[in-house]
Every structure is written in structure tokens, then in C-alpha cells.
């Protein structure tokens, strides 16, 4: 139901509004509320949110120092206030969305990192067990060449055997390891990523 006009003139309305008469506020609210709601809709997705912005704009107008010169001044003030509130809500929503996106991205990255660590740990454990089960000389040669980075000649000198024996033992040891462990673990061995202390 439409609100009946209670003021005979714009001047009378503004005078009452400026001195804080509630009936003037109610008149202005009912007259311009729907317009401010429509305007506020550009900043939010839900009708209820637009209504909240409009209501807040009117409350701010009522609580502020009022000295409106004409209705155009009044409406301009309401639109500007609604715009400020709407932009603030829009910015807050975008920040929340950004935080959510960042959180989800961090969680995904964290989970991926955790999975990589699990795979690494499993591969390392498998490799450790396989090396420990090699014959003693083969185990020493694998540790010295792949884990300590020593040359075949250095290993031969340390063990008091000829270099060809080192090569033959290493080939046999690698064949055993390749048959006992998965591809990832074997690649880790060839890459020499483990330090010998882990196996001592």
C-alpha cells in the first residue's frame, strides 16, 4: 500500500528532517527505500544484501548531522552512502574469496607436498632395505660408489681388489636391486640422493 503524502512542501519536509523529526525520516524512507535497494543491487548478489545496504544508508543518514538544502541533495547523499557501503561490502567479499582461494591453493600445495614426502620416504625405506640385504661386498660397493660418490678406482684401492671386480660386483648388485625395488627407488639410488650415514 502506498504511503500517503504527509508534507505539503519540500521545504517543510527538509526542515523536519534536518531537526530530527521521525515522521520526516519515515516519509523519506518509504519514498526512496526501493530506489536505494535497486541501486545497491549492483554491489551484491542477493536481494537481502541490497536491502541491508539501503537500510544502513538510511540509518547513517539519520545518525549524521543533517543539513539538506533540497531533495536532490538528500537523494545524492543517500546514493553516495549506499555506494560507499556497497563498495566496502564488495571489497570485503572479494578479500574473503581471495583468502579462500589462497587457502585452498595452499592446502592443495601442502597435500601435494605431503604426498611427495610420503612417496620419497617409502622409496627411501624400500631402497634402504634392499641395500641392507645385498651381500657384504656388493653392499659396500654400492654405498661407496652411489652414496659416497667415490670412483671405481677409489673403491678398488680401499677394498684391495682390482677395478674390474668392482665393476662386476656393482653390475650384479644393481641387477639385484632393480629386481627388488620399484622404479622410483632405483632412480633415487642412481641419482645418489641418499647419504651413507642413513645406512650405517
Contact present, 139 and 130 (Cβ < 8 Å): no
pTM: 0.47
Taking the C-alpha atoms of residue 198 and residue 196, their distance in angstroms, rounded to an integer, is 5
Nearest to 194 by CA among 132, 101, 113: 132
Mean pLDDT (whole number) for 146-160: 85
Kindly report, residue by residue over 89-133, the tens digit of the pLDDT.
888 888 877 776 676 666 677 566 666 656 666 667 777 788 888
Pick the CATH number of 10-97 from 3.40.50.2000, 2.60.120.560, 3.40.50.1470, 1.10.1740.10: 1.10.1740.10
Contact present, 145 and 190 (Cβ < 8 Å): no
What does each C-alpha distance from 177 to 113, 170, 192 come to in angstroms? 27, 10, 14
Query: What confidence score (pLDDT) does residue 59 get?
Result: 92
CATH 1.10.1740.10 range(s) for the chain read 10-97
Mean pLDDT (whole number) for 25-40: 89
Query: What confidence score (pLDDT) does residue 17 get?
Result: 86
All 3 cell numbers of residue 46?
542477493
**pLDDT tops 80 at residue 176:** yes
Where residue 198 falls among pLDDT bands split at 50, 70, 90? very low
CATH 1.10.10.10 range(s) for the chain read 133-199
Angle ∠(20,24,30) on CA atoms, nearest 5: 130
Instruction: Fold for 133-199, please state it.
Output: Arc Repressor Mutant, subunit A (1.10.10)
**pLDDT tops 70 at residue 190:** no
To the nearest whole percent, how much of the chain has pLDDT over 90? 9
Taking the C-alpha atoms of residue 107 and residue 119, their distance in angstroms, rounded to an integer, is 18
Taking the C-alpha atoms of residue 106 and residue 141, their distance in angstroms, rounded to an integer, is 43
Taking the C-alpha atoms of residue 47 and residue 139, their distance in angstroms, rounded to an integer, is 73
All 3 cell numbers of residue 182?
620399484
Angle ∠(169,129,197) on CA atoms, nearest 5: 80
- List, in sequence order, the alpha helices (H) in 19-135: 22-40, 47-63, 71-132
Kindly report, residue by residue over 44-60, the tens digit of the pLDDT.
888 889 899 999 999 99
Where residue 184 falls among pLDDT bands split at 50, 70, 90? low
Query: What confidence score (pLDDT) does residue 197 get?
Result: 37
Amino acid at each position: 500500500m502506498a504511503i500517503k503524502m504527509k508534507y505539503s512542501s519540500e521545504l517543510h519536509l527538509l526542515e523536519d528532517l534536518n531537526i530530527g523529526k521521525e515522521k520526516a525520516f519515515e516519509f523519506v524512507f518509504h519514498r526512496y527505500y526501493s530506489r536505494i535497494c535497486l541501486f545497491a543491487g549492483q554491489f551484491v548478489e542477493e536481494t537481502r544484501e541490497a536491502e541491508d545496504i539501503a537500510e544502513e544508508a538510511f540509518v547513517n543518514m539519520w545518525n549524521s548531522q543533517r543539513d539538506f538544502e533540497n531533495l536532490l541533495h538528500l537523494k545524492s547523499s543517500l546514493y553516495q552512502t549506499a555506494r560507499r557501503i556497497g563498495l566496502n561490502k564488495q571489497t570485503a567479499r572479494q578479500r574473503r574469496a581471495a583468502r579462500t582461494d589462497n587457502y585452498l591453493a595452499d592446502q592443495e600445495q601442502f597435500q601435494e607436498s605431503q604426498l611427495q614426502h610420503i612417496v620419497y620416504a617409502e622409496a627411501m625405506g624400500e631402497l634402504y632395505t634392499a641395500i641392507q640385504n645385498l651381500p657384504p661386498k656388493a653392499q659396500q660397493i654400492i654405498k661407496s660408489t652411489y652414496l659416497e660418490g667415490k670412483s671405481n678406482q677409489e673403491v678398488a684401492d680401499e677394498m684391495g681388489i682390482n677395478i674390474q671386480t668392482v665393476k662386476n660386483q656393482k653390475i650384479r648388485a644393481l641387477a639385484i636391486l632393480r629386481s627388488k625395488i620399484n622404479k622410483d627407488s632405483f632412480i633415487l639410488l642412481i641419482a645418489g640422493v641418499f647419504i651413507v650415514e642413513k645406512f650405517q
